Structure 1
């Protein structure tokens, strides 16, 4: 029996499984294919050979022939991974459907040998921003309320922080944005359904959405995001993650206070008390370590790259 005091899970996993089973018959999973290629591109940049890889994915057909010798593991709540069995683990486009994302990464880290590599890819917070806005405005206008329709997806800083929480060393996160155009908003919704990415939230509306809501959403979508050729744009943001299982051979941070030279001397500047600025100095800019890659929208039929 389930614990009545336990929190209600965000994702309805049985419903998600039904959607994926239907999508498994789809002739094309273009987003999953695109993300798989992105993961392999990043893997190719690593100057190391891996002999015991594993891929956590809901789409084994996408990985057929892509990573020879890899063990394919379903993205269940408890992953079928043995501790220390792999030198490479990929988590491919499934973290956004996890009720416990950090738990998924922890399980991957435990499956890694020392100095093994974890690579992950998950949809980020800007994914389907256009659809989320149009549906929300339409539902409020027509019904006066709002129901959960698109799973919440994290921003790159939040998702990247999961790597540290999971105990991975040398964490890196970057963002890839893929923009795709569709004939109309309904073509986008059909594509999401065909890829198993339709609404599987536990708190979702359990009855068909009113036609008036859908028609108003389509109107608002076309009005706000229509293209000169009459098509509409959709954004898919993929957050790519990388981290290593801790090992003594990895670079270690220096102990605080162990520097042999002052920073001011190394930079060739004068040292001043906090709050004091040099005469004529301009305002500084603060950068982040997060990279952004331009994406490529691919596909056939009702969708086309933007």
Structure 2
């Protein structure tokens, strides 16, 4: 089977992250706080933890966990059945093979071990995506991939099932941030290390006429009381390594009580007079 071409340039992503100045970590902080609450809700003491991502060491410190910190490479290098908790920290949206990373994490979990992941979702930067498309159509006569595609909630949930994780759950946290203008938004994206690294992107800097048209389009279409609105979506995934101790679905026909009796209602069979 042929290996599909990479969607993202991992070397360029590493350079962008290295240049991130740390002045716009508020989305990482929001994701980290939410993950912390979810770990507390599990009410279990985790002894062998791995955290994957470019700021894994900071996540471990903030979560109060002794953890093995792992870069989000295509091959994670995780040991087999080694961890009872693995956290993928705000990096899965840049994976060339997200299903492969989920499978690697599932294999690295002990039975009944927990996988938690958070990444940007498909609604992220919709306004910027639309503004670029409109501006490029007018200035250049066509559009190009200026904002990287990110998985929709339903698609990400389906990946959990494909990775054969038990008790899969996927949910989203939408966030809206206001900026003075589109240029300030782009500045924050650079500060986050989250600018476009698609292989198919234009490699030349954006021209002044195009940038001006993007800013005008964004301001005219997505401004509220003079400030533009930027949408972000955090998608949270959770799943467990399969174990015989987990709850299992009943076999068809094994029910001991009629549904009508349980609901206290009268059963009506349209096939019977």
The TM-score bracket by the shorter chain reads: over 0.9
CA distance in 1, matches of 2:36, 2:69: 15
Q: Do residues 42 (structure 1) and 41 (structure 2) align?
A: no
Q: Deviations over 1:229-269 (max 9, x none)?
A: x2111111011111111111100001112122332333314
Q: Deviations over 1:64-117 (max 9, x none)?
A: 522321111110000031111110000011111001001111111111111000
Further displaced range: 208-217 or 189-198: 208-217
Q: Do residues 91 (structure 1) and 115 (structure 2) align?
A: no
Report the secondary structure of 1:65's partner residue. helix
Q: Partner residue of 2:124?
A: 127
Q: Partner residue of 1:118?
A: 115
Q: Partner residue of 2:221?
A: 224
Give the CA deviation at 1:270. 2.7
Q: Do residues 189 (structure 1) and 186 (structure 2) align?
A: yes
CA distance in 1, matches of 2:220, 2:39: 41
How do 1:49-64 residues align onto structure 2 when only pairs under 5 Å count?
Answer: 49-63=45-59
> Does the CA-based 8 Å contact 2:57-2:69 persist in structure 1?
no
Q: Do residues 18 (structure 1) and 15 (structure 2) align?
A: yes
Equivalent of residue 235 in structure 1, options 207, 231, 234 = 231
Gaps of 5+ in 2: none
> Does the CA-based 8 Å contact 1:53-1:69 persist in structure 2?
yes
Report the secondary structure of 2:61's partner residue. coil
Give the CA deviation at 1:61. 4.9
Q: Partner residue of 1:160?
A: 157
CA distance in 2, matches of 1:64, 1:249: 28
Report the secondary structure of 1:45's partner residue. helix
Give the CA deviation at 1:122. 1.2
Gaps of 5+ in 1: 275-306
How do 1:222-301 residues align onto structure 2 when only pairs under 5 Å count?
Answer: 222-228=219-225, 230-267=226-263, 268-273=265-270
**CA root-mean-square deviation:** 1.7
Q: Deviations over 1:280-301 (max 9, x none)?
A: xxxxxxxxxxxxxxxxxxxxxx
More helix by share: 2
Q: Partner residue of 1:198?
A: 195
Report the secondary structure of 1:161's partner residue. helix
Q: Partner residue of 1:79?
A: 76
Structure 1 57/262 Cα, relative in aligned 2: closer, same or farther at 3 Å? Answer: same
Aligned length: 269
Q: Partner residue of 1:215?
A: 212
Give the CA deviation at 1:28. 4.2
Structure 1 144/269 Cα, relative in aligned 2: closer, same or farther at 3 Å? Answer: farther
Q: Partner residue of 1:283?
A: none
Report the secondary structure of 1:234's partner residue. strand
- TM-score between both structures, scaled by the size of structure 2: 0.94
CA distance in 1, matches of 2:125, 2:48: 35
Report the secondary structure of 1:177's partner residue. strand
Further displaced range: 187-196 or 54-63: 54-63
